[in-house]
Amino acid sequence: METTTVTHKLIAGNWKMNGSLAGNEALLQAILAGLDADTAAVDVAVCVPAPYLAQVQALCTGSPLAWGAQDVSEHEAGAYTGEVSAAMLRDFGCRYVIVGHSERRRDHGESDEAVARKAQRALACGITPIVCVGETEVQREAGQTEAVVKRQLAAVIHTVGHCVSEIVVAYEPVWAIGTGRTATPEQAQTVHAVLRAQLGAAVPEPRRVRILYGGSMNAGNAAALLAQPDIDGGLIGGASLKAEEFLRIVRAAV
**Residues 131-143: tens digit of each pLDDT:** 999 999 999 999 9
Q: Is residue 113's pLDDT more than 60?
A: yes
From the list 5, 51, 60, 54, the residue with the least C-alpha distance to 27 is: 60
The residues carrying an active-site annotation are 101, 172
3-class state of residue 227 by DSSP? coil
Query: Other C-beta atoms within 10 Å of 207: how many?
Result: 18
pLDDT computed for residue 177 by the predictor: 84
* 1 within a domain of the structure (yes/no): no
Beta bridge pairs of residue 214: 235
- Alpha-carbon distance of 245 to 221, in angstroms, equals 11
> Using only C-alpha atoms, what is the Rg of the chain?
17
64 membership: H or E segment, kind and range: none
Q: Is residue 7 scored above 80 in pLDDT?
A: no
Report the 10 Å Cβ neighbour count for 141.
Answer: 11
Does residue 3 have a pLDDT over 70?
Answer: no
**pLDDT > 90? residue 104:** yes
State the pLDDT confidence band at 1, using cuts at 50, 70 and 90: very low
Name residue 125's amino acid: C
Q: How many domains does the chain have?
A: 1
Model-level pTM? 0.96
| Mean pLDDT, residues 7-15 | 95
pLDDT band at 179 (very low <50, low <70, confident <90, very high): confident
Q: Does 3 fall in a domain?
A: no
**Parent domain of 161:** 9-252
Measured distance CA(102)–CA(19) in Å, rounded: 21
> Does residue 103 sit within a domain?
yes
Q: C-alpha angle with apex 70: 47 to 110, nearest 5 degrees?
A: 155
- Tell me how far apart the alpha carbons of residues 234 and 12 are, in angstroms, rounded to a whole number: 6
Mean pLDDT of the chain: 96
> Which percentage of the chain shows pLDDT scores above 70?
98
Compute CA 211 distance to the chain's CA centroid, rounded to the nearest angstrom. 9
Is residue 117, in this structure, part of any structural domain at all?
yes
Given the DSSP bridges, would you call strands 233-236 and 65-69 parallel, antiparallel or unpaired?
A: unpaired
Residue 2 is predicted with a pLDDT of 39
User: Cβ(169)–Cβ(209) under 8 Å?
Assistant: yes
CB 48 within 8 A of CB 24: yes
SS3 229: coil
4 in a structural domain: no
Nearest-angstrom CA–CA distance, 96 and 167? 9
Assess contact for 131 and 168: CB atoms under 8 A: yes
Whether 2 is covered by a domain: the verdict is: no
* 229 Cβ neighbours under 8 A, 6+ residues apart: 189
Domain membership of residue 133 (yes or no) is yes
The conformation of residue 77, written as its DSSP 8-state character, comes to S
Q: What is the tens place of the pLDDT at every residue in 42-67?
A: 999 999 999 999 999 999 999 999 99
Q: Which residue has the higher pLDDT, 181 or 93?
A: 93
pLDDT score of 127 more than 60: yes
Q: For the chain, where are the E strands, in sequence order?
A: 9-14, 42-47, 65-69, 96-99, 128-133, 168-171, 211-214, 233-236
Task: Check pLDDT > 80 for residue 5.
Answer: no
Q: Residue 80 domain-assigned?
A: yes
Is 207's pLDDT higher than 50?
A: yes
> What are the pLDDT digits (tens) for 73-97?
999 999 999 999 999 999 999 999 9
Instruction: Report the CATH number that the domain containing residue 139 is assigned in CATH.
Output: 3.20.20.70
- DSSP letter (8 states) at residue 61: T
Between 15-19, 118-122, 177-181, 188-192, the lowest mean confidence (pLDDT) is in 177-181
